[in-house]
Amino acid sequence: MMRATAALETSRLVHRYGERTALAGLDLEVAAGEIFALLGPNGGGKTTLFRLLSTLIPIQSGSARLLGYDVARQTAEVQRRIGVVFQAPSLDKKLTVAENLHHQGHLYGLSGGELRQRADEMLDRLRLADRRRDLVETLSGGLRRRVELAKGLLHRPRLLLLDEPSTGLDPGARSDLWDYLQQIRRDDGVTVVLTTHLLEEADKADRLAILNAGSLVALDTPDRLRASVGGDTLTIETDRPEELAAAIGERFDVPAAVVDGSVRLERPDGHQWVARLVEAFPGRLASIKLGKPTLEDVFIARTGHKFWSDRP
């Protein structure tokens, strides 16, 4: 049986800015109908990948295909079939909501009754119908983000690229955004690929790829990635982390690592280890924190440093 065409495929994708490597041979595959997150700290490579996929910058090495079309060789076909919502605002603040949609429609060859019908449809679906005559400059950040989405979906793309979609949104608006992403995936079969540096946002995706310094360090569902860490995580603050990590390893024969100045270990029965460590090293522990594995723990396990570390 033939394999269904993936919505997104990259193979050995490399991109450099001078001496700096932004993407280091990236291989990805996203299935049609997925909500897929590209998670990484600033400088991890996700914005460069977004620019390549949205045809903003040319591919230097490797290949990428969207909806079966080669991004480098079939750029026009790709552009007609994708919707893009950039992190930076793309709305004309001096125009009304409806005027922004109409100008977007003209870029895709829409006009007349068809354009009005699609604009009305988007305004209804994104609960903007009563704002159609409002100037964009009068709207809140959450409403502007909804107008951006309406623009990106006006031509009915099969794949939607979102660059940091929650930028500037309050928690309520962020929740509304995700409700809508789930709706268009469910009702229209739209594939959603988004970049984010927010761990809680990536947790809502069907699958996610974690990028660090241009390399793929993890790829799976959020639940499976957390399960891969195993057990509970204990984070210990101390004046001499290297000494304490070595002492824990010698005393209990368990691996303890120093991560950005803190001692970190993973144990299946973490709650029992809190008292055990305090008793074994009296006066040497400033604090100890116990938690279930998070996506940041996955990042630490795969990279050796924290998600928000200044290290490359």
Q: Residues for the chain: how many in total?
A: 312
Residue 101, classed as helix, strand or coil, is helix
Q: Which two tokens stand for residue 189?
A: 């079969």
The single-letter DSSP state of residue 141 is H
Nearest to 104 by CA among 94, 113, 115, 114: 115
Which CATH number among 3.40.47.10, 3.40.50.720, 3.30.70.260, 3.30.43.10 corresponds to the domain 231-292?
3.30.70.260
pTM over 0.85: no
Residue with tokens 């269904």: 4
Residue 298, classed as helix, strand or coil, is helix
Write down the pLDDT at residue 154: 92
* Cβ atoms of 270 and 175 closer than 8 Å: no
Q: Which amino acid appears at position 76 of this protein?
A: A
Q: Which two tokens stand for residue 155?
A: 């031509």
Question: Would you report the helix, strand and coil content of the chain in percent, each value rounded to 5?
Answer: 40, 25, 35
Query: How many Å is the Cα radius of gyration of the chain?
Result: 23
What residues does each domain of the chain span? 8-225, 231-292
54-105 per-position pLDDT tens digit: 999 999 999 999 999 999 999 999 999 999 998 888 899 999 999 999 999 9
Sign of CA dihedral 270, 275, 281, 286: positive
* Regions of the chain with pLDDT less than 50: 1-3, 310-312
CATH of domain 8-225: 3.40.50.300
Residue with tokens 């079309």: 69
Cα separation values, 302 from 41, 46, 203, 305, Å? 14, 17, 17, 8
Residue 6, classed as helix, strand or coil, is coil
* Cβ atoms of 91 and 83 closer than 8 Å: no
Write down the pLDDT at residue 23: 96
Write down the pLDDT at residue 2: 33
Write down the pLDDT at residue 3: 45
Q: Which two tokens stand for residue 17?
A: 């800015």
Residue with tokens 């909500």: 35
Q: How far, in Å, CA of 67 to CA of 254, rounded?
A: 48
Residue 113, classed as helix, strand or coil, is helix
Residue 60, classed as helix, strand or coil, is coil
Q: In what order do the strands lie in the sheet with 232-237?
A: 257-259, 262-267, 232-237, 287-291
The interaxial angle of helices 97-107 and 112-125, nearest 10 deg, is 130
